[in-house]
Amino acid sequence: MTSRISILEFRNRLKSNTKIGLLHFKRELGMFSIFFPNSKCFYGKFDDTTFRLMLNSNFISPIYILNGEYQNVSGMLKLNYAVIPLSKTYIVVMKYFPLVLLIGFNSFLYFDLKNVPDIAYIIFNSLIALGFFYSRWQLKHEKKKLVQKFNKIFEIDIE
């Protein structure tokens, strides 16, 4: 991918839009950042050729990391980055926990509470199904939001 800005402008935008820190530290202690408001879009670290960034949020713990490198090739800024999950375990839990909950809840109602009205099955299964679809949507939305914000700030042209 290429950017319309120079490498110096890219570094300046990295400096002005990134709060420097360790990614796993932010994930573990993110709830305490409510008391320390920030105005920077990204959180992470970078150097002269690489960067590791995630969205800077005070309330929701970020899920994805933007990991990449950049270089100046023939006067153009060339970027190569990938969006990777911060924790693969968290992704698996977000995707499949509603299914485990659905099976477990229905088993509990069927085997332990035999005289449950059908409306209880319908209500709770509908809520669990909504949770399943929301968790899938939220994972895709978080990834898309990170890439869009990065591409907008750094004026990246996708080839």
Cα–Cα distance, 127 to 124 (Å, whole number): 5
Q: What is the pLDDT of residue 28?
A: 45
pLDDT along the chain (159 residues), means of 10: 89 91 58 60 90 83 90 89 89 86 86 81 90 90 93 85
Separation in Å, CA 6 to CA 72, 75, 148: 8, 8, 20
* Residue whose structure tokens are 């800024």: 77
Q: What is the pLDDT of residue 88?
A: 87
DSSP designation for 47: -
Q: Which residue type, as a one-letter code, is found at position 149?
A: K
* Residue whose structure tokens are 């659905």: 102
pTM above 0.75, yes or no: yes
Q: Which residue type, as a one-letter code, is found at position 154?
A: F
Q: What is the pLDDT of residue 23?
A: 66
Is residue 99 helix, strand or coil? Answer: helix
**Domain range summary for the chain, segments of one domain joined by +:** 2-87
